[in-house]
Amino acid sequence: MLFIGAVLVLAVAAAVLVPLLTRESGTEQPRTTLVIPEGWRATQVYAADDKALDQPAGTTAKAAKAADLPLPAEAKGNPEGYLFPATYPVTSTTTPKSLLRYMVDTAVEHFGADHITAGARRNDVTVYQTVTIAAIVQAEADTEADMGKVARVIHNRLDREMPLQMDSTLNYAMNRSTLDTTTGDTKIDSPYNSYEHKGLPPTPIGNPGEQAMTAAISPTPGPWLYFVTVAPGDTRFTDDYAEQQRNVAEFNRNRRG
């Protein structure tokens, strides 16, 4: 098994965006706020939206399918990756549709910035693919400082037409979050199985923040093809497979201990 990384980073975006009330009633004050952390999957965002809006479970997920959100054509109507992490005010007039629309509008505004589009062109990928890369970076990097190196591993493997072999994509396919990946897991039948399929997964695997996007467009220069977080704060990057295997063995010893 070629173990690449681990799902560890989950940052919270603390900035409060322009209140939804400015787009709705114009006068009503927020009754609460909804914090969407960086890296959350759409399913987690939907559940949090339902709770904040006091709606039955599944309401926001249904709204997402019918909301006609302003997503790029590549997304095929799936807002994964475009539910921008931030703190959102919620009023009595906020609806699942209006909340989703504001999250997506905000993502489109951020991801459409000149430096993002220029970075995507420089890396010979689309902005949507850049969001997909950033989502993997968000899930895999142990620290913010590691994000640029993780992004470089992704780009290096794509350039060499190597499968990404990222455990975070398996976790997404299996709707879980774990550090333990088995050989059987790497054989599952899913387009998100980056052990079996080359290239990027069909959609982002979460909703990345600013730091992950920055890493995706400006990865740290380096030859690395592998990495593993041996222990918290200790991620080893290498382009040597034998060295990677030694690092993985150390990771496994630490897990058993």
Burial (CB count within 10 angstroms: exposed 0-12, middle 13-18, buried 19+), residue 74? middle
- In 3D, which of 216, 198, 50 has the Cα closest to residue 124? 216
Contact 83/120 with Cβ under 8 angstroms? no
Residue 73: pLDDT over 50: yes
Q: What is the pLDDT of residues 154-171, one digit of tens each?
A: 999 999 999 999 999 999
Q: What pLDDT was estimated at residue 28?
A: 60
Burial (CB count within 10 angstroms: exposed 0-12, middle 13-18, buried 19+), residue 105? middle
- Helix, strand, coil percentages for the chain (3-state, nearest 5): 45, 10, 45
Q: What pLDDT was estimated at residue 6?
A: 41
| Rounded-to-integer distance, Cα 108 and Cα 72, Å | 9
Model-level pTM? 0.90
Question: Reduced to 3 states, what is the DSSP secondary structure of residue 216?
Answer: helix
Greater confidence, 179 or 216? 216
In the block, which residue shows the tokens 């609806």? 95
